Chains A and B, each alone.
Chain A
Amino acid sequence: MPSLADRGRNSRGSGLELALRIAAFVALAGWIANAARPAVSRRETVRGASLTAALPRWTHGRVDSVRVQLDTVPDPASLAWLAALRGAGVGVTWSGATISDVALETYVPTDPTGGVVALVASREAEPRVVSDALGPVDTLRNGVSIIRLASVEGGLTVTSGNQAARAQAAAVAAPRRILVAGAAGWEPKFIIAALEERGWQVDAHLSVAPDREVTQGGALAGLDTARYSAVVLLDSASAENARGVEPFVRSGGGVVLAGDANLAARVAGLVAWRAGKRATAPLGTLAGDTTWRGLSLLSLQLLPDRRAIVLEQHNGQPVVTARRHYAGRVIGVGYDQTWRWRMAGDDSRIAHRDYWSRVVSSVALRPASATSDVRTGAAPRAELYEALGPPSAAGRALAVNFSPSAVSGALGLVILLSLLSEWLLRRSRGAR
């Protein structure tokens, strides 16, 4: 019969054995549970080209941490997928020293002919290929960074090096009407003609006698951004007679002041310049000379206390100036005989037409877009940073957890050791 000491040793030994058995069972349960998980690594590093294949695996494999080495910014869907993984707690890091910088912005200009203007930002040394659904359209070199396309099929893509930026210009409503006012003469006639030929809808008020006007369209007093995109005032009398110009500009409308309309007191609050003396071209100057755009001009002297930018100069003197006024824009044009430029040649006729359309377009109110502007892919690197944060070096990767196979091995070892210990304990106390 065993002694009390033996009984006490036996009871301690059996308690330990019980604990070892329980541990073995627990480890076994853990081993089984771990074995039920898919057999994937919990830390992966892939190159960009393999990303598309890796993303589903990572999603179903409950990856804890991934590192992506990128040559180009992933497409928007892959990028969104990575961002979603990151949001779900997966540690996503990336590196991409070879990614080319390129970004693209497109918009439809305020112009009856429509088209698309694309602004490209990239390293200027690299040629940038502009293409649409039909293929390459043009290649930008030597610092060219803006391109205007008359027609684009589908979205627009700019490729610089190995990186492409994609954008789709939102559709906008056609610009509203333009109001032109002045005393009847060749300059108003040909400016109206230029705008109408270029597709603008023009309302006109041309004074021909005291209290007598040749009109087209609405009343001069009814300036309203709901009807007009811009107003063109061609002489001081028309500028003095135009009522409601300031509120019109304040609410987003555009004003073009040509010739001595820049002198009118009524528009003094809108401008940041003062019209100087008229300069006439020297004898022998061609009417088609584009530095004169006609044969005379008024220089526009900038006022020191107001901000404006100079768009064109003649002999160092500003001739075309522009500024913002609240939501609207004002442009001053010093040329006052542009009709001579138009009549000088067939090319001049087109140039005159396009010039005045450009002047009006640069201030005309752009109606709000009816559709949302989709810009995914337009600035790939920025979108990459927004989705995944800044790049990180390899050593800064997040801590890596055990892989399923390592866990299985560890648990198996625990089971083996527990059962061996329990057997040895049992044998040591003489039990079988």
Chain B
Amino acid sequence: MSGTSRVQAIRAYLSAAVLAGATLVFASVANLHPVYGILAASVVTGAMLWLLRGAFSRRRVMLWLEERAPEMRYSLAAIVESPDTPFRESLEQRVRVARFGRALALAGLKLVGGPLALLLVMQLVVRPIIARTTSSDSVSGPGKGDTRRPGITDSRFAAIVTTPGYARMAPDTIENPVSVGALVGSDVAFVGRWTGRVTMPPRPTVLRLRGEESERLVALEPRIDSLPNVVLDLPARDTVLVVARGTLPLSASARDDIGVASGWFEFIISSGSGESFKFRSGVLGRALGNGTRLQLQTTLRLDSMNLEPGDVVHLRAVARDGNPATNESGSSETRTLRVYRAGEADSVAIEGAPAPEVGKSELSQRMLIMLTEKLAAQTRKLSHSAVLDESGSIGRDQAKLRKRVGQIIFTRLTGEEATAADSEVFADTLSPTEALLRAADAATGAGAGEELEEGEDSPVVAVNRPLLEAFNEMWEAERRLGVGEPREALPHMRSALAAIQRARAAERLYLRGRPPKVVLDIARIRLSGKKEGIDPGRRSPRASDVAAALTRQARFRAALALLTGETDSGAPQRGPAAAAAVDSLTLLRIDALADQPAFAAALSAALEDLRAGRDATASLRAARGALVGTPDRGRHPRWSGAW
């Protein structure tokens, strides 16, 4: 290769390196912002080309080579300057032996490597910083913030959903989201082509994301965290306390679909009667939750509550939801503990509540029935004496229960605590029920027994009638068991159980008494009042149930009109009208989420089809079906119009 050709080749090499470097510089700056980036990149590249313009001149390249290879002793310059020199051959020989490969490599590295490093710095460091500081303008939602994550490029669009910590769920990434469904209070970060961050609101909302060149609607669909379900296990029933002493175990369980934050017992104590009441309230047994279940347990110290006869303790358990965005509470049913007041049975405002002992009796009675059934099934296998022993044992338990029920009835009839002997006083000569009533009669002089015999019950006897029946049946069962006849005892035991259950139901509904009866003679009263001031005003119309549905149908049809205006057939719809239709359907979907979830779901499928450019006819038809429901069908009417 002659010296001239060599200069030409190296000149081309350097020019290429300069252009490559300039291009990299341009890319580094222009990538930041479309307008300002291009301007800045043009200036920088122009300046760089100007400074390195020597690479484009044959003379400068020649001098540059002479500088890098001094052993040529300006032979190359002589060849370039005076190509017709007679010493050309010797000059060419000197150039041929010169070595400047290393210099060329170094020059190439400087010209390309620097701009390449600049590009990397701009992409990896500067651009994320700038994006973070400018993202606040990109979202028209309630929040702002983080924009971009490594690995997500401009062409991609995704939502990263981070649920509140109490839910203990891993972040979820939704690619190209049309809608985002997440727990209320979740953090939703949009990355990629459109950026922004919002907190999931409590109601369905449409988020308008504005990018550099376009905008996009994304539906935010909150998943409502349901309130904790709280069950008060203890006390299991409303209770009447004869005396307010001792402690009462309280137990409750709370369950939530996501998480319970805390729970406690609440009580209100009402004291007084008639028009004069006083109230105290408080909280017991507060506990923190750490999961979807929370068990609450504590004891209620009745001694310390200064309860007086007639006071009522209203008790319930409360649990607070773990979601910090809602902070709502669920509560159990309320139990009442009433402190018995002597003489209250005469009031018309008796608190209806079965005594707890009846509940225990009911369980025991059920257990005794099971034992007796088992014994009755084994009578053939067992000896007569064994049956008699076992049957007698059950009979004694039955007797204990009967006496307990008798004490309850006695207490209710007399207002006094019964002793074991009270109901047995007349047992030798009368039936157990008569004996019990006679005992009550003897204790109070109220004549309860006589009223029962006359068949016209007093209210007090009437409400106790199921218990009296239970008492009677138990006595009969006890007698049968005593003679080793478990099979014959069973019907009486079952009747006793049914009577106890009736007693519970009856007292719940009817124990409160009846208000004084006021008999009005409507015919006599009719229009006897003064007419002054009577001036009926006009009625205002009631809102239509169907107006909202009709409006929604009209919106759906308008969106369809936009879509069908684009193409004649079911071909994929595109263009601005289709985009407007997609936006309309998105808004419609949000509107329908609360009260027409099936329609919203069907619309979601249609929107997916439309966004993907697929034929959406079938999915839109399904959405229409969900919106308007099944057609009414029938035969030709007899009466035209509607029948």
Contacts and interface: CB of A to CB of B under 8 A. Distances in A.
Is A in direct contact with B (CB under 8 Å) within the complex? yes
Interface of A: 109-114, 119, 130, 133-138, 140, 143-151, 153, 192-193, 196-199, 201-202, 204, 206, 208-210, 212-216, 309, 311, 322, 329, 353, 358, 361-364
B546 A214 contact: no
A148 B628 contact: no
Contact of B540 (A119, A151, A216, A361): A216
Contact of B546 (A119, A151, A199): A199
27 contacts: A109-B641, A112-B544, A112-B546, A134-B617, A137-B625, A145-B634, A146-B636, A147-B632, A149-B631, A150-B628, A153-B564, A196-B543, A197-B543, A198-B545, A199-B544, A210-B527, A214-B536, A214-B538, A216-B539, A216-B541, A322-B639, A322-B643, A353-B545, A361-B642, A362-B639, A363-B641, A364-B641
Contacts of A206: 539
Contact of A214 (B539, B550, B560): B539
Contacts of A198: 544-546
A151 B557 contact: yes
Contact of B642 (A111, A215, A216): A111
B496 interface: no
B553 A150 contact: yes
B534 A114 contact: no
A311 B640 CA distance: 11
Nearest to A206: B539
B631 A148 contact: yes
Contact of B635 (A112, A146, A153, A204): A146
Contact of B633 (A140, A193, A362): A140
Contact of B560 (A153, A210, A215): A153
Contact of B632 (A114, A148, A363): A148
Contacts of A136: 621
B257 to A, nearest CB: 26
Contact of A311 (B534, B618, B631, B638): B638
Given A145-B635, A146-B636, 10 more contacts: A134-B621, A138-B633, A143-B635, A146-B634, A151-B557, A153-B557, A196-B544, A197-B546, A216-B540, A364-B641
A144 B534 contact: no
Contacts of A193: 542
Contact of B553 (A112, A151, A201, A353): A151
B97 interface: no
A212 B541 contact: no
A202 B538 CA distance: 13
Contact of B627 (A146, A151, A153, A204): A151
Contacts of B560: 134, 153
A145 B536 contact: no
Contacts of B544: 112, 196-199
Contact of B539 (A119, A135, A144, A204): A204
A372 to B, nearest CB: 21
B615 to A, nearest CB: 11
Interface string B526-540: 010001001011111
A149 B624 CA distance: 11
A212 B630 CA distance: 45
Contact of A146 (B542, B617, B628, B633): B633
Contacts of B634: 144-146
B633 A135 contact: no
A41 to B, nearest CB: 36
Interface in B47-83: none
Given A198-B546, A208-B536, A215-B539, A362 B641 contact: yes
Interface string B29-58: 000000000000000000000000000000
A197 B543 CA distance: 6
Given A193-B542, A202-B541, A113 B550 contact: yes
Nearest to A350: B545
B549 to A, nearest CB: 8
B627 to A, nearest CB: 7
Given A149-B631, A362-B641, A134 B620 contact: yes
B636 A119 contact: yes
Given A212-B534, A216-B540, A144 B633 contact: yes
A111 B543 CA distance: 16
B629 interface: yes
A412 B193 CA distance: 83
A361 B553 CA distance: 21
Contacts of A112: 544, 546
Contacts of B612: none
Given A146-B636, A193-B542, A135 B617 contact: yes
Contacts of B642: 109-111, 358, 361-362
A147 B547 contact: no
A109 B640 CA distance: 10
A206 B635 CA distance: 38
A143 B634 CA distance: 8
A302 to B, nearest CB: 14
Contacts of A210: 527
B639 A147 contact: no
B86 interface: no
Q: Which 8 A-B pairs have the closest CB atoms?
A: A150-B628, A216-B539, A197-B545, A148-B632, A196-B542, A362-B641, A134-B621, A362-B642
Contacts of B516: none
Contacts of B540: 216
B542 A197 contact: yes
Contacts of A362: 639, 641-643
Contacts of B633: 138, 140, 144, 146-148
A249 to B, nearest CB: 15
Contacts of A148: 631-633
Contact of A216 (B538, B624, B638, B641): B538
A209 B526 CA distance: 10
B629 A150 contact: yes
Interface string B389-428: 0000000000000000000000000000000000000000
B598 to A, nearest CB: 15
Nearest to A184: B536
Nearest to B623: A134
B101 interface: no
A311 B557 contact: no
Nearest to A109: B642
B637 interface: yes
B550 A114 contact: yes
Contact of A147 (B543, B545, B564, B631): B631
Given A146-B636, A198-B544, A212-B536, A358 B643 contact: yes
Nearest to A193: B542
A201 B541 CA distance: 8
A199 B536 contact: no
Nearest to A140: B633
A4 to B, nearest CB: 89
Interface in B538-579: 538-547, 550, 553, 556-557, 560, 564
Contacts of A147: 631-633
A287 B574 CA distance: 55
A136 B631 CA distance: 12
B541 A196 contact: yes
Contacts of A143: 635
Nearest to B627: A151
A396 to B, nearest CB: 37
Given A110-B641, A213-B536, A150 B631 contact: yes
Contacts of A138: 630-631, 633
